Amino acid sequence: MQAVQFSGFGEADVLQFVDIPKPVPQPGEVLIKVAAAGVNYADVLQRKGTYPYPVTLPFITGYEVAGVVDRIGEGVTNLQPGQRVMAMIPNGGYAEYAIANAAQAIPLPDDLGDAEATALLVQGMTAVGLLHTGQYESVLMLAAAGGVGSVLVQLAKNQGKRVIAAVGSEAKKSQALELGADVAVSYGDADWVQQVREATDGKGVSVTFDAVGGKVGADALKTLAVGGTGVIFGSASGEPTMLAGQQLVGQGQSVRGYTLFADVAKFGAYAGELFGAYQAGHLKLPVETYPIADVQTAHRDMESRRTKGKVALIF
């Protein structure tokens, strides 16, 4: 079978097609014929060699797939060959076939496309998990036009929260507003923090959700209300969010980290919540698709912030 592999770290051109043996599912596993593979910024970091958890070369990245069950391993009773599923996997998603733990492969509704399904995996479930971290009246979402942001904006608005979307360019503000954000600001503007404060009548927001880090993440904490919470779940800028300890103490604020993989036991419930919102017509899934042959272009576009919503590779 064909797969996209890198044998050294570097720019997008290290992603190369290779022929490798078709994997065989072990007990408790399923083999999925991949129709769509999700692309995440973590894939870019793995390729560049800057991901927090080292990978062993050569490596096939990709940890979200949607497709059809091709074979099942011994002891698998919840799935059958021919069944459409989506699944999170440790790696190996950029390939014609991928192995998944049967317990983490979720059957797909007939009305949900394969590319759209990838938006409900790591990024969609992360959006749900973030909103489950507390009771919030108002939300500031950084990278609101991205995969997590585009879902979280909608879910938060459906819950009746005031939603302020922060994006990296003027062009992405309209998408955030179309998805339901009450206000959209660009953190390319020098006064964007003041814009957020004004949008909340000077009170600030209950929570900031930050996967950007660096100066943008640090500035976002300045928009918090007294007693507000900053939730950090990534650092796409490549720099950590710098915390202003005196500010946090003076305003009674807190900062915490979040990772979806601390909520593995809740994956089924999170998927059910997303399916329910989608089937009720409350959740749009903006997806940009690339043929697998254009995997290098997909990586370059994501890395340069040219993409909106979920990015998926189509086989």
Beta pairing, strands 162-167 & 84-88: unpaired
What is the biggest distance separating any 2 CA atoms in the chain, rounded to whole angstroms? Answer: 60
Mean pLDDT calculated for residue range 196-211? 97
Structure confidence at residue 237 as a pLDDT band (50, 70, 90): confident
Q: What is the pLDDT of residues 38-77, one digit of tens each?
A: 999 999 999 999 998 889 999 999 999 999 999 999 999 9
Structure confidence at residue 233 as a pLDDT band (50, 70, 90): very high
State the pLDDT at residue 112: 96
Beta pairing, strands 64-72 & 205-210: unpaired
Give one DSSP letter per residue of 18-31, joined into a string: EE-PPP---TTEEE
β-sheet bridge partners, residue 288: 311
State the pLDDT at residue 242: 84
